[in-house]
Structure 1
């Protein structure tokens, strides 16, 4: 594939470097291609039992983790409906699109929601949450994204949990869909009360499942919660899991592939997984800036990087050109960040050569829209530096 400035992209293979869904591991692709089996058979019962136990290690919890056939947003809703009641006071930390979505969900069910607006690209100040709880000790829940996917901001979850855990009647519910499995987020140690992850992120699976867990503190509230719930009622799921089944039909294909992923994670260790994702994030942050991008997030996440494009360029056009001319998919900005940023994901099955190719291709995209902005020689130099950096930082 040759660009308009003569750059020859020798690899024509499609590369998915979005914040989710992500490139699937080859072993996952094999598992997804297996013949279907029924979800009420001894064969699947063994798989489910193994998965329910091993996924706790990624959540770093002794509590049950529930497997829901839904998207991550369904998992966010499940955290709300299992712990809250109409009229409950909720503090929603909103720093982007997904914080807005969670606040809207809580309002829709009838919670009394106070929104703590955080400027896009910034992390929440813990002191503001602390002040709110001092003035409103009857707050039932605080909602926060571990990583706000739309801005690539990582929020100080450990510090927030330290503050919130001191209030016995307040739960800390965390959307870790673009965080869990990508960097440390130990549920029990940090005293997180509700945690949700998504299959299509660090778990390297297709979209279609959410994984949720609740602390012992949260279980005290679950029985008395009054928000309507049926499909997402974890009491039913807990009882079914204790009998070796899921309450509703199991997502056999994804759960079977999840078994493969959890075995892969166990073989390499969580710390190695975190290291690999951090390494990709560092490579992207360092060398994209050498090309002329700047970092959008003031507290950048390791799972996804948001890059501010040069002011005279359009981020939406850059990501589209990257896909059409170089066969690489990333994402653009949303709402107030639309056209201003591009977002690169670091989760999933990503090889070093894809990272080097990404850096070179991003440089040629910039050159496509402004030939005077960067030269072919500069792009080549940055790509070579990136290659050496990867060799020196295994």
Structure 2
């Protein structure tokens, strides 16, 4: 029986992956509503609310645009709307998704200067500064706010301060596993382009990507000559001004997003960030008590990467946790495969799920090595976690 099949039969299934994430009950209700057409006054009102609400999450006065695509589609949108073939781009690569963005930029004919950062580490601002001084013609710096594959947070505020004084250089940020999970104020931090995805902190199924551009970046819309049609923001901007989307809207997801933004608005972004931080801290503290280590030297509040005890295989731990205990987390990718497991902190997660995760991680370690952690240690850790959650 697959986890999703079991989830339909009982309430014990926990989706604790770094995306997609568990959905709020009110969001699930919205997804089940009867379909309406996207060219109706009813949907126009929903769209207007959503586009306004997204500005609050992005923390910007600029327009936020939606694409019916995965987050990778939004990453492409950021590139093609401000770049031209032959432009020089500095790509910070510290994991799987940094690699993907660099590859995208190469496909569109830009000259990509890849700055490789060891997996598990954050980029040094001084290194990027040196590259910009060496390549003053650089049109854009590409960087993840959180590199999902390693759970590392990069110093976006400092990078924004670096590029803010360069009139022809843009800072483009992949915030797919960041926006709504921890502070990333677009305007305040001088970010020129941000992409986010629906299946992360925005608590929706996969299918929507969101992009926003600074005024500085907007000046490049007409200059950019990368091929674009579906992701041409100029068309979307014109349609949004008339209260519509240029292409057919993903009505079901947009209507559910309306509910998410209302819930977030009532809670406030600071409380959202605090909730993610609390879950991340609990995971980091108590997983280490069982024998796991921290992979990221600059850990994220949206996802935690845990190194597995010596002699164990992270992929086997992940699979056993799912098959035996009905808990879905993720393993490592590429060079980190088998070495780490990744636990997500976004979405609708309740305290009892965190307690159960820590307990089941301990039991899983016992399954693979009876001497790895004692039953007494597991129970003591679980009891301490419960007290910690009550006091934090």
Same fold (TM over 0.5): yes
Q: Which residue of 2 aligns with 1:52?
A: 51
Matches within 5 A, 1:52-131: 52-131=51-130
Q: CA deviation at 1:57?
A: 0.2
CA distance in 2, matches of 1:149, 1:260: 26
Q: Which residue of 2 aligns with 1:168?
A: 167
Q: Which residue of 2 aligns with 1:3?
A: none
CA distance in 2, matches of 1:373, 1:93: 37
Secondary structure at the counterpart of residue 140 of structure 1: strand
The 8 Å contact of residues 16 and 329 in structure 1, kept in 2 or not, is answered as yes
| 1:325-381 deviation line (CA, Å, top 9, x unaligned) | 000000000010000000000000000000000000000011110001111111011
Q: CA deviation at 1:382?
A: 0.3
Aligned-CA RMSD value: 0.7
| 1:95-122 deviation line (CA, Å, top 9, x unaligned) | 0000000000000110000000000000
Q: What count of residue pairs does the alignment treat as equivalent?
A: 383
Matches within 5 A, 1:238-387: 238-387=237-386
| 1:37-75 deviation line (CA, Å, top 9, x unaligned) | 000011111100110111100000011100100000000
Structure 1: which 5+ runs fail to align?
A: 1-10
The 8 Å contact of residues 103 and 113 in structure 1, kept in 2 or not, is answered as yes
CA distance in 2, matches of 1:53, 1:269: 15
TM-score (norm 2): 0.97
Secondary structure at the counterpart of residue 76 of structure 1: helix
Secondary structure at the counterpart of residue 222 of structure 1: coil
Q: Which residue of 2 aligns with 1:22?
A: 21
Secondary structure at the counterpart of residue 359 of structure 2: helix
Question: After the TM superposition, which parts of structure 1 deviate over 2 Å for at least 4 consecutive aligned residues?
Answer: none
TM-score (norm 1): 0.97
| 1:277-325 deviation line (CA, Å, top 9, x unaligned) | 0000000000000000000000000000000001200000000000000
CA distance in 2, matches of 1:326, 1:262: 32
Structure 2: which 5+ runs fail to align?
A: 1-9
CA distance in 2, matches of 1:90, 1:199: 27
Q: CA deviation at 1:180?
A: 0.3
CA distance in 2, matches of 1:157, 1:281: 20
Q: CA deviation at 1:137?
A: 1.1
Residues 64 and 12 (structure 1), Cα distance of their counterparts in 2 relative to 1, 3 Å cut: closer
The 8 Å contact of residues 121 and 153 in structure 1, kept in 2 or not, is answered as yes
Q: CA deviation at 1:217?
A: 0.1
CA distance in 1, matches of 2:220, 2:25: 42
CA distance in 2, matches of 1:392, 1:14: 26
Q: CA deviation at 1:12?
A: 5.9
Q: CA deviation at 1:222?
A: 1.1
Secondary structure at the counterpart of residue 275 of structure 1: helix
| 1:140-176 deviation line (CA, Å, top 9, x unaligned) | 0000000000000000000111111111100000000
The 8 Å contact of residues 92 and 142 in structure 1, kept in 2 or not, is answered as yes
The 8 Å contact of residues 12 and 327 in structure 1, kept in 2 or not, is answered as no
| 1:15-47 deviation line (CA, Å, top 9, x unaligned) | 100000000000000000000000001111110
Secondary structure at the counterpart of residue 183 of structure 1: coil
Q: CA deviation at 1:136?
A: 1.1
